[in-house]
């Protein structure tokens, strides 16, 4: 194997990992920090993609459109938390049912507004060559964006006052409430932050794939696998699970076909959960 | 304890009654045809009833809605020119909602309850194979107006859509002659994609080329990194793509983002069916060659008139017609010719009339029924993506026969054969 071929494989593996990170980190915040199973996560991705397409069509350029799209999904997330989620904390089955119903409603409303035809944004930037292989520059940007999203989660939850309070509220809500932390308001903000991250993930995907109302369905399975395999710790869980699952999928896909790549991801997830039911980070005893 | 069971019974009975009533009303509502269906038709007078099953809702409505409009247009056109032997055509339409079980249910309803003279419709091959047993059993004529993989051999069914054989046969030699012999095949991983890949492999070899690799992509995959790497490692002259659906749009994107579309053109029989050329940016959709029995750019007076009527009826900004819309239009006109020639709507007489050489000047070119196989002979157009989200025609191969079907199926010599042949 010549060096340029190895680089090609390495870059595609890194990109597979990055794709898993950008679709899961929003769900990881919501699931990891609040223990919520949000079955509408795919639709948050989809909404982020559609909002980005809408803003892009207004002429603001891809990056502004992506940020605006992410923020609008965050706003929507706050709204949903106030109107639906906050009544269901602690009630797992009801939460799953309600968020699943929400996902159905979101798909239909988006279908009514945007129609069923495919939308998207042309992939920004161009390509570059390494030896005989050419690569998309945007895929490198996605890799950097995935790292940036993880970095943002770290900074927000460790270096900001909100973040420290949010972690306290997750660890022990009663005690946090007793020392004067407004747990309900924090939950709302955390859900909104998770929604912003999901929206941004969707925004990046809008430039990679075709956006239809059922767009989120193909990513929600992978996102849940990453989050549950990773365990409750937001940062270390998501990162380690993405590296493991994305790495295996990328390597197997390159060595054989995309079909076996998908299978290998599922197999690794099954084996991992068999031996580490609380996820990778649960086994390590990491909390964040 | 006794008191609670007492109180529970009336409540349970009430719930049961409510459910029964709801069930009755809901099934009544969903059973209605959405254009005027008369009950109990006479077979020799009154309107000729065409049963139409095209998805208006669900994922297939992207294809089904324009096809339904084409059907309505065709019926109005035939009626405006005097109808068929003095009788008007009438559409009896149901919406199968992209659900194959509803196809079987509505086909039964059309045949047994509405007693239509012919059933037309079905979009995916799966829906066709849900309709066919019903129309065979109820002895109702069936026209399938949609491009498909080929091979159906059934005396009761007429296949009015270009087969893979007919469209790929001119496309592969064209690509190989122009760009080179090494072909890399990517196909969707389900029955259509596997069939299409076999056809590409066979026709590539016939044209003197070599398939360097065939890769199947599951329908839910949208991460094409590894596939792009494989293609680059193999260094083909052309890539043949039989990818289907919105997830696979990402392939053309990733291909262009890696700059591959500048050096290695794509030949695809499926590109365009999910509106890819509208979604992709022109520089992403660059250098893709496609083949079908119709493109909106075909230069014929019949097409000029057809497009004018299309936009008059559906709106000036309405999307351009595609091959499947034209197949519906052609199918209804050819059926009308068949009934006129037969002098009746009797299934055997109309079948004989259709087998006797029906020709029609369609918008895509002259079409005619092949009597031995019940397939249709088409002009096949090879087109290239252009900078305005549509296609430019680069080469037209006139009157392409369904050659492979003719090898395996002869409904005049052996009318009792009823199966779908496939390449082994």
What's the CA gap between B321 and B415, in Å, rounded?
35
pLDDT in tens, B191-239: 788 888 999 999 999 999 999 999 998 877 777 888 888 998 899 999 9
- Which residues of A fall below an 8 Å CB-CB distance to B? 5, 8-9, 11-12, 15-16, 19, 116-120, 122-123, 126-127, 129, 132-139, 208-210, 212, 214-215, 218, 249-250, 253-254, 257-259, 261-262
Convert the pLDDT of each residue in A187-221 to its tens digit.
Answer: 899 999 999 999 999 999 998 888 888 888 889 98
Q: What whole-number distance in Å separates Cα of residue B183 and Cα of residue B214? A: 9
Chain A residue with minimum CA distance to B60 = A116
Indicate whether B132 and B180 sit together in one domain.
no
Least confident of A42-56, B156-170, B216-230: B216-230
Q: Could you say which of B261, B292, B323 is where a domain stops?
A: B292
Same-domain check for residues B144 and B174: no
| Domain range A3-118+135-284, its CATH number among 1.20.120, 1.10.1060, 1.10.3470, 1.10.287 | 1.10.3470
Residue B4 lies inside a defined structural domain of this protein = no
The C-alpha atoms of residue A169 and residue A70 are separated, in whole angstroms, by 25
> Chain B: nearest CA to A207, how far in angstroms?
9
Distance CA B382, CA B148 (A): 17
The CA-based angle A104-A106-A108, given to 5 degrees, is 70
Query: Does residue B144 contact residue B128 with C-beta atoms inside 8 Å?
Result: yes
Of B292, B321, B356, the residue at which a domain comes to its end is B292
B249: left (phi over 0), alpha (psi -120 to 50) or beta: alpha
Average pLDDT score over chain B:
86
| Domain contains B393 | no
Q: Give the CATH number of the domain where residue B100 resides.
A: 3.40.50.2300
Question: Which chain A residue shows the shortest CA-CA distance from B263?
Answer: A134
Query: Do residues B155 and B303 share a domain?
Result: yes
Which residues of B lie inside 8 Å of A (Cβ-Cβ)? 59, 61-62, 189, 215-218, 220-230, 232-233, 235, 246-247, 249-250, 253-254, 256-260, 274-276, 278-281, 283-284
Domain ranges of chain A: 3-118+135-284
B239 and B307 belong to one structural domain? no
Size of interface A-B (CB pairs under 8 A): 117
The pTM for the full model equals 0.76
Domain membership flag for residue B100: yes
The set of residues, in sequence order, having a beta carbon less than 8 Å from that of B231 and lying 6+ positions away, is: B184, B186, B239, B255, B260, B264
**pLDDT tens per residue across span A66-77:** 999 999 999 999
Question: Residues of chain B with pLDDT > 90: what percent?
Answer: 56
Domains identified in chain B, total number: 2
* Of residues B331, B260, B275, the one with CA closest to residue B77: B331
| Of B292, B314, B344, the domain-final residue | B292
Closest CA to B321 of B331, B311, B330: B311
Shortest CA gap A62–chain B (Å): 14
Does ipTM top 0.90? no
Confirm if B368 and B341 have CB atoms less than 8 A apart. no
Question: Which backbone phi and psi does B372 adopt, to 5 degrees?
Answer: -70, -35
The Cα-based distances of B155 to A180, A229, B79, B152 in angstroms read 81, 56, 28, 10
Contact between B162 and B132 under an 8 Å Cβ cutoff? The reply is no
Whether B31 has a pLDDT exceeding 70, the answer reads no
| B43 pLDDT higher than 80 | no
What is the domain extent for residue B180?
165-292
């Amino acid at each position: 194997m010549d060096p340029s071929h190895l680089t090609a494989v390495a870059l595609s593996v890194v990109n597979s990992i990055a794709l898993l990170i950008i679709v899961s980190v929003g769900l990881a915040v919501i699931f990891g920090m609040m223990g919520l199973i949000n079955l509408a996560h795919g639709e948050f991705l989809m909404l982020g993609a559609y909002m980005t397409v809408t803003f892009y069509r207004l002429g603001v350029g891809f990056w502004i459109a992506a940020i605006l799209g992410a923020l609008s999904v965050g706003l929507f997330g706050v709204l949903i938390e106030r109107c639906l989620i906050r009544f269901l904390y602690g009630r797992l089955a009801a939460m799953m049912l309600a968020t699943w119903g929400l996902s159905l409603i979101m798909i239909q409303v988006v279908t009514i507004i945007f129609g069923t035809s495919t939308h998207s944004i042309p992939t920004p930037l161009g390509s570059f060559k390494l030896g005989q292989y050419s690569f998309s520059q945007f895929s490198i940007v996605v890799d950097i964006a995935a790292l940036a999203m993880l970095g943002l989660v770290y900074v927000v939850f460790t270096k900001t006052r909100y973040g420290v309070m949010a972690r306290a509220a997750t660890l022990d809500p009663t005690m946090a409430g007793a020392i004067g932390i407004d747990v309900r308001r924090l939950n709302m903000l955390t859900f909104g932050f998770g929604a912003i991250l999901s929206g941004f993930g969707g925004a990046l995907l809008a430039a990679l794939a075709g956006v239809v109302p059922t767009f989120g369905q193909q990513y929600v399975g992978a996102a849940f696998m990453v989050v549950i395999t990773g365990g409750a710790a937001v940062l270390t869980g998501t990162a380690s699970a993405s590296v493991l699952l994305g790495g295996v999928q990328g390597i197997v896909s390159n060595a054989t076909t995309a079909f076996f790549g998908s299978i290998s991801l599922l197999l690794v997830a099954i084996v991992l959960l068999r031996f580490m039911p609380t996820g990778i980070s649960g086994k390590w005893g990491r909390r964040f | 304890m006794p008191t609670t069971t007492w109180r529970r019974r009336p409540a349970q009975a009430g719930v049961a009654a409510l459910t029964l009533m709801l069930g009755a009303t809901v099934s009544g509502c969903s059973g209605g045809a959405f254009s005027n269906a008369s009950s109990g038709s006479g077979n020799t007078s009154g309107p000729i009833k065409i049963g139409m099953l095209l998805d208006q809702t669900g994922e297939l409505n992207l294809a089904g809605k324009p096809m339904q409009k084409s059907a309505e247009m065709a019926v109005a056109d035939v009626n405006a020119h005097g109808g068929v032997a003095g009788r008007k055509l009438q559409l009896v339409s149901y919406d199968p909602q992209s659900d194959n079980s509803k196809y079987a249910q509505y086909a039964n309803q059309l045949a047994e309850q509405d007693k239509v003279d012919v059933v037309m419709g079905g979009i995916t091959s799966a829906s066709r194979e849900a309709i066919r047993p019903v129309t065979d059993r109820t002895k109702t004529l069936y026209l399938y107006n949609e491009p498909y993989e080929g091979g159906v051999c059934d005396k009761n069914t007429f296949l009015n859509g270009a087969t893979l054989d007919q469209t790929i046969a001119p496309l592969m030699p064209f690509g190989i002659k122009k760009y080179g012999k090494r072909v890399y095949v990517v196909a969707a991983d389900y029955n259509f994609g596997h069939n299409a890949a076999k056809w590409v492999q066979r026709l590539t070899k016939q044209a003197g080329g070599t398939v360097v690799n065939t890769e199947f992509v599951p329908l839910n995959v949208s991460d094409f990194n590894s596939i792009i790497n494989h293609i680059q490692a193999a260094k083909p002259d052309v890539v043949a793509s039989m990818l289907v659906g919105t997830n696979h749009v990402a392939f053309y994107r990733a291909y262009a983002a890696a700059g591959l579309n500048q050096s290695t053109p794509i030949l695809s029989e499926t590109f365009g069916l999910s509106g890819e050329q509208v979604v992709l940016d022109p520089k992403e959709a660059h250098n893709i060659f496609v083949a079908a029995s119709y493109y909106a750019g075909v230069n014929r007076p019949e097409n000029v008139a057809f497009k004018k009527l299309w936009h008059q009826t559906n709106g000036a900004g309405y999307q351009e017609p595609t091959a499947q819309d034209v197949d519906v239009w052609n199918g209804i006109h050819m059926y009308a010719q068949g009934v006129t020639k037969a002098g009746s709507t009797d299934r055997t007489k109309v079948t004989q009339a259709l087998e006797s050489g029906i020709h029609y000047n369609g918008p895509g070119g002259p079409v005619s029924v092949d009597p031995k196989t019940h397939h249709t002979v088409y002009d096949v157009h090879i087109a290239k993506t252009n900078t305005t989200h549509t296609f430019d025609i680069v080469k037209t191969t006139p009157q392409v026969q369904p050659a492979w079907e003719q090898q395996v199926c002869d409904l005049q010599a052996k009318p009792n054969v009823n199966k779908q042949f496939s390449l082994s």
